Structure 1
């Protein structure tokens, strides 16, 4: 397995992977995760998005992370269900953390659905603490992007 940078040539396989997993599919929206949305994201964050590729060329996992110059954010992490619990997610997180740190980012956050027990356990193992002192709020400026509950 090899960790490589994500490019727009990966878009179709990224979407296939994300759509194969319920929790990942649930986090997608038709604007931000469209071809144009992902292209915008990768252009803005060209050195902090990674994929894990098997020896056979198959996409095994992906992480999209970026920053605003102050804080890092992991937007998507997804690992093929057949290869989960094999260290791929941890390697992707490490690659993203190192890339963000290289760009001067000292703190990273991630949003995880509260009912995603597997995901929350994974992030806890990666050293990401649960903040219970904050309320997450959002506002959609596009009617095609759901605001959530």
Structure 2
């Protein structure tokens, strides 16, 4: 079980990248790719200013949620909370903060991706009111830069 500590939620900044990457790399079920390089995350944050957040307990980064939109739909990525701090509402608080910012930007619907073998992630999103879609399939194409 986690330990309760005071935490704050604040905007995710490029200077948080190393701590966020460390947390992402230690989170089973969270997929990382070249899209998660420091330069790409910096570009994502610049394009989606004020939409992504971290939870911090003192100097320790304990949770993240990347959030962006394309003008029509919002997208959440890399929502995770350090295992010691789970089951305290931090993940929900991060998701709610992102959704509130999307709503303020005029975005009415939000999507997210969960790896097919990440049962813990699916259970979390189910618990906080997201619905799994069975009517769409996701296709990807590497266009190489």
Q: TM-score range by the shorter chain?
A: over 0.9
TM-score by length of 1: 0.90
Please name the residue that 1:129 is paired with. Answer: 131
Aligned-residue Cα RMSD (Å) equals 1.1
Aligned mates of 1:120, 1:37 — CA distance in 2: 26
Equivalent-residue separation in structure 2 for 1:76 and 1:17 (angstroms): 10
Q: Which of 46, 56, 81 is the matching residue for 1:53?
A: 56
Matches within 5 A, 1:34-45: 34-45=37-48
CA distance in 2, matches of 1:126, 1:66: 19
Q: After superposition, where does 1:12-23 map in structure 2 within 5 Å?
A: 12-23=18-29
Q: Quick one: distance in 1 between partners of 2:92 and 2:40?
A: 26
Q: 1:86 aligns with which of 61, 85, 88?
A: 88
Offset of residue 135 of structure 1: 1.1
**Segments of 4+ moved more than 3 angstroms:** none
Matched positions, count: 139
Q: Deviations over 1:78-137 (max 9, x none)?
A: 111111111110000000000000000000011111221110010011111011011111
Q: Give the Å deviation of 1:142.
A: 2.3
After TM superposition, the structure 1 = structure 2 runs for residues 99-138 of structure 1, keeping only pairs within 5 Å, are 99-138=101-140
- What is the SS of the residue equivalent to 1:11? helix
- Inter-partner Cα distance in structure 2 for 1:127 and 1:142: 36
- Matched residue SS, 1:22: coil
User: Conserved in 1, the CA contact under 8 Å of 2:29 and 2:117?
Assistant: no
